[in-house]
Structure 1
Amino acid sequence: MINTQHIKSYGRTSILATTLLTLMACNSSDESSTEGFVKLYNLSKDAPNIYLTLDEDINVDADSDNDHYENTYSGIAYTKANSNFSLETNNYDYQLAWQDGDNSSSENLNLIHQGQLTVTDDNIQMIVLANSILSPEVIIYDIPVIDDDSDDDDDLFNMRVLNMHAEQPQVDFYYSTEDETFAQAQLFSQVNYQELTENQKIAQQSYIFYITAAGSDEVLFQSHSINFAYSSQYVIALRENLGAGSSPFVIDKLSNSSITEYVDDNAETTIRAYNAVAPHAELSNYQGNLSLYVNGIDETPEIPLLNFGEISDELQLASGDYSLDLVNTQDEQPLLSNHLISLNENSNKTVFFYAEEEYVDSDGDGNIDENGDGIIDEIDINLYSLVVNNSLSTSIYEHEIEIVNLVQSDEFDQVQVYFVRNDETIDTALYHRTINYKETNEISLQNNSYQVFVIAQENGSRIILNSFELLLDEQSSEQFLVLEVSEASATGYKASLIEQVLAQESDNDD
């Protein structure tokens, strides 16, 4: 069921004046047309990209009326917003929808909400999509455009705060200069859920923001220092944190043309590790089991045992730069040392450890088969790491697949992966990616059934390295597709699907 639309006005203009402005703008004899602005901000965390369509009259075909305005704007992902776009003052029908096929024209989109809004002179209609896409809630905020010449002269900027964290219905929002602490912070405002505060003018400089529960002095969120160097106007939006850190908040700074995310300055990070190091004759005593040490933590392994072909549980760390060591659990001999991993606040990453064969040319003459018997004279095995950012998307209608290519071959250095639907062939498949060895590439797929083909080019021929069926639905998660050499596979190669982030227990679970 679609929730009732809420329209919240924060303008200073009276209803009568707004009506007069609208009537003047719509008068065809008035040549000095006025304009307002519209912005869409997507805060529905299980939604795919959301498309906004604006139409002067949804019952009139734009093709039959050259003066008729109708436009569908580019899709907006979760936590993103478009730049303010200008429109003539008027009443407009609007629709919010998501793409359920290959065509993003408005008539082919899946409608989730529709309503009407009024664009008035020098005001921003900020449309916020909240709640689940299965029961969407739409709030429209009417925000006056502020263009005060004195702001430039007095080095001021304009700021409002919007609380969109459903589980934090009443909070206090503070700010301090970058050289101050919370003890010196000033209260900006107490903010209820879905409330947008009145505008305040603040001196241009760098600030730290703090969030507490209403009336509390326990800081739930503290930002980095954020620089405000221009006389612009901003909305600071408070929303749910889906990252690794324990703070419940992330904030977005919305300007007329951009949006920037800020996480808690003390947010923790998490990493997982995947062991793609197969046993090899050149790895003495290695049976496929290794231990992972994170230097600077303690003298014991953070992951005591990681078997070949397995991924570890999440390991929580403070943000910072670390070096990683791998040790063979059979004899405690080092396999890899001092590999850097840099962990920003709130980040969630996976480290893939893999082995690479390197042919030894001991005398440097370019010949690695000195006796001509067709066998490489000497092979060294070296271990490497590949660090990948995990997707935190929780969309139920489309899912991200991160393809990790760990296939080393003398015959090819890249592979193609095709996701073929039941009405397609490999040559007509819309969804496909090319991935070089030791690299990754991501693709977003809509819910559907796919036949997946991993293909390489050898001397002009296309060779199928692996194929399998993939079913994506509303219960699917974001996954890694890991491509590796495998002696156990009939083709010599394997493809493994692994969840990017460990599933979190639902709040509704008993």
Structure 2
Amino acid sequence: MQLTTPSVNMTVGFRTIICGLIVLLGLSACGGSDSSSSDYTYAYVQFYNASPNGANVEMREVDGDSFGSAQFGDTTSMYSLESGELELEFIRTDSDDQEVLIDTITVDLREGYKTLIVMSGDFAAPSFSNYQYERKTLEDHFRLFALSVTADNASYDFYMSESGDPFEAANYLGSANAGDLGEFVFWDADDDSDYFDEGEYTIYLTEPGRDEVIFESQTIDFIYETEYVLTLRDVSGAIQEGLVVDTILNSSTVTALTDVEADSQYRIYNSSNIDADLQVSFGGNTDEEDVSFTLSAGELSSFTAIRYGDYRVTVTDPTGSATSLNNKLITLNQGESKAILIYNNDDKLGAATFVESGLPQAYDKTVNFINLVNDFDDVDFYLVRNDETIDTAEYDLQNLEFGESASEVLPSDYYEVIAVYEDDNGEQVLLDRTALFGFVEEENYIVTVEPADTATGYEIRVLY
């Protein structure tokens, strides 16, 4: 008798019968070791803004509800909807509070699937892409996806190691490519699942086919039993160079991972109003030489790039009229830009610091305001456009104490900046006001109110 090879249909049928018997006997299921399933009965949608020179963008249904807005490097919340076609429009608001339509797209939502809509590229003509993946019910595991959204559409080789292991022990997972959301496979799958084990890991990126690390993340604790989407994007804002890896989950919170070797930067402003130039010493990190320079009253230094670390600042008045500021601790984290503002408080030099924005400043301006007046408990700032008064101003910051800073995101426009305080009778008293000033350049602006030789004794300064 001649033996014949079973047909594909016969093989599948035989395998189905065996699987059925195994299930009846209570044994493990056939078809692989992954025991995850999907209990998700809605369709899901989320928007991610990856345009590095853009504005805050709102996503909403055409002639329908809003689904929130996102700035660069941020997402909306994830929304649960019915499956089917959904027509969406994307809107920004200009300086006249008028809505500007960016684009309209139609997405086909599927039950049990998440649709991630990504806006990337030059904001003058951005591109919209949508990516779908099925949501899974996971236990003690997570899934990992990656996408490159850099301006030059670059691809990167993606490596991952367990926490504490160096690059030499990392596992190559594949490439993170522009326009292609890829899912990575765990290198050490167990009997329960083919997906990644929850725990702490380190990410490494290299150029394609190269073994020189150009990005190493901090240790990441993957604690959620869900799908993680990692997007590789450009740095924007005060620091202009480098990569950031955004971690997107199912909420509006995005964790931005910076390179552990990324430089930081600082700039220093002298608001002391002392006639002599102040002597500044910046250093104390064993990896960097100390730097010394002088700053005259009202002078803002340029940004200085420096290795991340913990530094100390000493500021001295050569005339001896003000007590020196000695060894003020300044911590500069990777990829961070910090402003240091020197002030004279009752003939004692001090310093206030804040981190400058990493958002693009092309359309919306993230302006930092700081009160350097110690004569009052708090100061209020108002941003008044030419058709507004203090009472009708849309943008204001209230109750800034001495040395306290706060930020406000302003549409690119012209504003009169007014600083006031309330006296004991609850009446507003003017400290200073500017002429209409154009917050229209791609700059990181700082607005101070400080003592000065003026009619009121105080002055508003706009720094950039």
TM range (shorter): 0.7 to 0.9
Alpha-carbon shift at residue 442 of structure 1 (Å):
1.6
Question: Does 2:332 match 1:343?
Answer: yes
In structure 2, the partner of 1:182 is: 167
In structure 2, the partner of 1:38 is: 45
Please show how residues 257-276 of structure 1 align to structure 2 within 5 Å.
257=251, 258-276=253-271
Amino acid at match of 2:214: L
Amino acid at match of 1:187: Y
Alpha-carbon shift at residue 331 of structure 1 (Å):
8.0
8 Å contact from structure 1 (residues 352, 387) kept in 2: yes
In structure 2, the partner of 1:477 is: 443
SS for the counterpart of 2:391 is: helix
Cα distance in 2 for residues equivalent to 1:305 and 1:319: 23
* Alignment equivalent of 1:425, drawn from 363, 383, 389: 389
Alpha-carbon shift at residue 417 of structure 1 (Å):
1.7
**451-460 or 330-339: bigger deviation:** 330-339
In structure 2, the partner of 1:362 is: none
CA deviation map 1:308-333 (0-9, x unaligned): 21111223332222222123356899
Cα distance in 2 for residues equivalent to 1:158 and 1:331: 62
Amino acid at match of 1:35: Y
Cα distance in 1 for residues equivalent to 2:85 and 2:302: 53
Cα distance in 2 for residues equivalent to 1:276 and 1:169: 44
In structure 2, the partner of 1:240 is: 234
Cα distance in 2 for residues equivalent to 1:302 and 1:294: 6
CA deviation map 1:344-397 (0-9, x unaligned): 21110011111111xxxxxxxxxxxxxxxxxxxxxxx22211111112322322
Gap regions ≥5 residues in structure 2: 1-39, 186-194
**413-422 or 348-357: bigger deviation:** 413-422
8 Å contact from structure 2 (residues 419, 430) kept in 1: yes
Q: 1:115 to 1:356 in 2, by over 3 A?
A: same
Please show how residues 269-284 of structure 1 align to structure 2 within 5 Å.
269-279=264-274
Question: Does 2:128 match 1:138?
Answer: yes
8 Å contact from structure 2 (residues 60, 68) kept in 1: no
Q: 1:420 to 1:179 in 2, by over 3 A?
A: closer
In structure 2, the partner of 1:214 is: 208
Alpha-carbon shift at residue 245 of structure 1 (Å):
7.4
Alpha-carbon shift at residue 77 of structure 1 (Å):
1.3
CA deviation map 1:166-206 (0-9, x unaligned): 33522101001112111111111123222211353222221
Question: Does 2:439 match 1:439?
Answer: no
Question: Does 2:414 match 1:407?
Answer: no
Cα distance in 2 for residues equivalent to 1:159 and 1:440: 38
Cα distance in 1 for residues equivalent to 2:239 and 2:406: 26
In structure 2, the partner of 1:457 is: 422
SS for the counterpart of 1:426 is: coil
In structure 2, the partner of 1:113 is: 103
Alpha-carbon shift at residue 246 of structure 1 (Å):
9.1
Amino acid at match of 1:89: S
Cα distance in 2 for residues equivalent to 1:45 and 1:123: 28
Please show how residues 189-204 of structure 1 align to structure 2 within 5 Å.
189-200=174-185, 201-204=195-198
Question: Does 2:91 match 1:97?
Answer: yes
SS for the counterpart of 1:183 is: helix
Cα distance in 1 for residues equivalent to 2:411 and 2:288: 45
Alpha-carbon shift at residue 238 of structure 1 (Å):
0.8
Cα distance in 2 for residues equivalent to 1:219 and 1:247: 16
TM-score normalised over the length of structure 1: 0.75
Question: Does 2:171 match 1:164?
Answer: no
TM-score normalised over the length of structure 2: 0.83
Q: Report percent identity of matched pairs.
A: 26
- How many residue pairs match? The answer is 413
Q: 1:35 to 1:299 in 2, by over 3 A?
A: closer
Gap regions ≥5 residues in structure 1: 1-32, 59-69, 280-285, 358-380, 500-510
Amino acid at match of 2:387: D
In structure 1, the partner of 2:72 is: 78
Alpha-carbon shift at residue 110 of structure 1 (Å):
1.5
* Alignment equivalent of 2:57, drawn from 44, 50, 67: 50
Alpha-carbon shift at residue 225 of structure 1 (Å):
1.1
Question: Does 2:122 match 1:122?
Answer: no
Cα RMSD (Å): 2.5
SS for the counterpart of 1:73 is: strand
Alpha-carbon shift at residue 300 of structure 1 (Å):
7.4
Alpha-carbon shift at residue 291 of structure 1 (Å):
2.2
